[in-house]
């Protein structure tokens, strides 16, 4: 494991573990490792992740760089919602646990299941992650996610106080 990898993860096996589950290798390029360090910190600090990306056919992984952040969050036991861009559908991660065939250890895994009938709302300490290249419908869904949350009746009064105290 590289020095950067050890220092940003406190010596843990987060990146190799995520790489294994994503069927990828831990990158060796410094810039890419810096991006993964950022992604790890995002996943570590958020309670819930809202990802905008492409779900793999096995419904266990997300493609591309967004997939790293999602996997790092899942490995930390975080709740993850995924907006699958091709299908324009929300999914939610579901964790499962089982004892390995040799009965030596507990194995964890996750799978994404369709979420509905209502789309999700943000939770306290949320992070939104995804591709920089988004189509218009996905951009509209990101706005709708924030609007659904901020317009909840229990949030309106708090929003008014925050706006009143906000000075430019």
Query: Model confidence over 144-159: pLDDT tens digits?
Result: 999 888 776 776 777 7
Quick check: 132 pLDDT over 50? Answer: yes
Q: Is the pLDDT of residue 10 over 50?
A: no
Task: Provide the angle, in degrees to the nearest 10, between the axes of the packed helices 30-45 and 14-22.
Answer: 100
pTM (two decimals): 0.78
Place of tokens 């790092």: 72
Q: What is the pLDDT of residues 102-131, one digit of tens each?
A: 766 766 778 999 998 899 999 889 999 998
Asked if 81 and 51 count as a contact pair (C-beta separation under 8 A), the reply is yes
Residue 81's beta-bridge partner residues?
50, 92
Residue of 4, 18, 86, 78 lying closest to 52 (CA atoms): 86
H helices of 23-168, in order, are 30-45, 64-75, 136-150, 153-165
pLDDT digits (tens, 9 = 90+) for 79-99: 999 999 999 999 999 987 777
Residues 121, 132: Cα–Cα separation, whole Å: 22
Q: What is the pLDDT of residues 25-80, one digit of tens each?
A: 988 889 988 989 999 999 999 999 999 999 999 999 999 989 999 999 999 999 99
Residue 8 and residue 40 in contact, taking contact as beta carbons nearer than 8 Å: yes
- DSSP calls for 91-121: EEEEEEEEE-TTSSSEEEEEEEEE--SSPP-
Token pair belonging to 76:
């930390």
Return the closest-CA partner of residue 66 out of 87, 35, 105, 110: 35
């Amino acid at each position: 494991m590289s020095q950067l990898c050890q220092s940003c993860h406190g010596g843990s096996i987060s990146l190799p573990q995520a790489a294994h589950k994503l069927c990828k290798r831990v990158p060796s390029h410094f810039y890419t490792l810096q991006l993964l360090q950022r992604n790890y910190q995002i996943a570590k600090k958020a309670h819930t992740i809202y990802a905008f990306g492409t779900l793999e056919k096995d419904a266990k992984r997300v493609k591309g760089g967004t997939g790293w952040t999602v996997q790092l969050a899942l490995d930390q036991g975080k709740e993850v919602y995924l907006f699958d861009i091709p299908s324009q559908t929300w999914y939610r991660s579901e964790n499962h646990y089982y004892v390995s065939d040799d009965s030596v250890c507990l194995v964890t895994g996750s799978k994404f299941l369709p979420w509905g009938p209502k789309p999700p709302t943000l939770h306290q300490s949320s992070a939104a992650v995804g591709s920089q290249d988004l189509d218009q419908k996905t951009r509209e869904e990101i706005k709708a996610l924030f609007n659904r949350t901020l317009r909840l009746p229990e949030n309106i009064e708090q929003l008014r106080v925050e706006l009143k105290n906000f000075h430019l």
